Amino acid sequence: MKKILIVMLFVFTIAGCRQKEEPKPVSQFPAGPIQSQDDTKILKEAAQKDPGNVDVWIKLGNAMMDTKRFTEAIDAYQRALQITPNNTEVRVDMGTCYRYSGNSDKAVEEYRKALKINPDHVIAHKNLGVTLAYDLKDIAGAIKELERALEIEPNAQDAAALKEEIQKLKAGK
């Protein structure tokens, strides 16, 4: 009986030791906002090592966008869209990068692609409205998009500002 107890105790001890392995990191790239050039370098290296990792491309695109490196952000977002072409968030962000890099027509194209995927994407409607109004001078189109954003989210935090903007556009101001 003592031998069985000792064997069982030995087995449980070994099994317990095997479960104490170090947890593996979920990802090798920085979490949260990019703080330094080193973080950007880490993201670029991660994208090189694992070009099929959509999260790395999106995070790299976001980092480039946040640091106003819009052309590099567009490149990263395009890589992400090769993997997940129906990602509305990436399309909207890429549209914004196109707008800030001076290509409003491409921005409009990306916002519209996002809206084909998700017709109720409020930010896509707002960004499209702003781009149409202030870059392409399509006031009627802009009003339509901003009004659609309000229809989708009538109690949005910026609803009053949107209503005011629509009134300014209608008044020709």
Q: Which residues form the domain of 55?
A: 34-85
Q: Is residue 160 part of a domain?
A: yes
As given in the structure block, the two tokens for residue 149 are 């954003």
pLDDT of residue 30: 45
Condensed to tens digits (0 to 9), the pLDDT of residues 31-50 reads: 444 444 667 788 778 668 87
Counted domains in the chain:
2
Total-model pTM: 0.76
Q: Domain of 43: which CATH number?
A: 1.25.40.10
HSE at residue 90, side-chain half, CA atoms within 13 A, is 23
Res. 58 pLDDT band, cuts 50 70 90: very high
- Predicted confidence at residue 57, as pLDDT, reads 92
- Give the helix/strand (H/E) hosting 104: helix 104-117
For residues 92 and 114, the answer to whether their CB atoms sit within 8 Å is: yes
- Rounded to the nearest integer, the mean pLDDT of the chain is 82
Within a domain: residue 95?
A: no
Q: Are residues 78 and 108 in the same domain?
A: no
